[in-house]
Amino acid sequence: MNSNQGTLKVTVCGARDKNDPSSQRHASNSDGDCCELWISSAAGRSGSGNQQTQRTRKDKKCQWNQDFTFQVGPGQDCLNVRMLDGNMTSGGDKDSNACKVKLDKVIQQGDMEEWVKIPNDPSNNMIQLKMRFDRMM
């Protein structure tokens, strides 16, 4: 059995503007921001099992502290993360504005915390993730 198979637990903590790392990012004037996550391969094979945080209220900071669990199978080596504002829905060209977090480091270490930059995001969002990987025996 592939040693890279197992359970990935992800906590989406919050978001901030990368240009102002001292403060948490406030949600936009839309109905609320959320974060969407899914597992895929780095080779571009699309993944499944999309999960989303709850939407923030427009007058609140982007702080979720929500936990998600993914089963990582053969060939799945990326956690994809993207921000959706209140005007966006899941679907569309997910890969163009998703950050691809390689899982090799968390698979090796078991635990990892990281701020990730969301590409093509005019708000310069960074999202704080805490990850834990438990190998399938």
What is the predicted pLDDT for the residue at 83? 87
Q: Is residue 1 part of a domain?
A: no
pTM of the model: 0.82
**Domain ranges, residue 17:** 6-135
Q: Is residue 29 part of a domain?
A: yes
pLDDT band at 1; cut points 50, 70, 90: very low
Closest CA to 53 of 125, 112, 133: 125
| Contact between residue 35 and residue 53 where contact means Cβ atoms under 8 Å apart | yes
For the sheet with 125-135, list strands across it. Answer: 63-72, 6-17, 125-135, 111-117
Q: Is residue 43 part of a domain?
A: yes
The answer to whether residue 33 scores a pLDDT higher than 90 is no
What is the predicted pLDDT for the residue at 81? 94
d(CA 46, CA 107): 20
Domain tally, the chain: 1
The answer to whether residue 29 scores a pLDDT higher than 80 is no
- Say which CATH number the domain at 86 has: 2.60.40.150
